């Protein structure tokens, strides 16, 4: 969790440096820049990967997730 917060801070600082976004909140900056938070992007990728595994679109070794 600490690493996730650290990476999110980097995006927050970066978006503040873009001209015209300094005084806006983080959510306002993301909307203005047509971006999503890293947390939302990560969740979307987890859901997409789960969908692909469930429907056999990618192969995942069972030993990664299940112990024998």
Q: Domain limits at 43?
A: 37-68
Same domain, 53 and 64: yes
| Span between the terminal Cα atoms of the chain, in Å | 29
Same domain, 43 and 68: yes
In the numeric block, which tokens belong to residue 7?
A: 């990476």
pTM metric for this prediction: 0.68
Q: Is the pLDDT of residue 41 over 80?
A: yes
28 and 12 in contact (C-beta within 8 Å)? no
Phi–psi pair at 61, nearest 5 degrees: -65, 130
pLDDT digits (tens, 9 = 90+) for 42-63: 999 999 998 998 898 998 877 7
Same domain, 22 and 50: no
Same domain, 26 and 52: no
In the numeric block, which tokens belong to residue 53?
A: 């595994």
3-state DSSP call for residue 42? helix
Same domain, 23 and 4: yes
Query: What's the number of domains the chain is made of?
Result: 2
Same domain, 27 and 53: no
* pLDDT bucket at 36, cuts 50 / 70 / 90: very high
pLDDT digits (tens, 9 = 90+) for 4-23: 888 889 999 999 999 999 89
């Amino acid at each position: 969790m600490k690493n996730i917060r650290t990476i999110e801070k980097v995006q927050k600082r970066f978006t503040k440096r873009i001209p015209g976004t300094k005084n806006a909140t983080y959510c306002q900056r993301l909307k203005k820049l047509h971006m999503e938070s890293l947390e939302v992007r990560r969740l979307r990728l987890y859901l997409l990967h789960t969908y692909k595994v469930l429907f056999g679109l990618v192969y995942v070794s069972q030993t990664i997730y299940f112990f024998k």
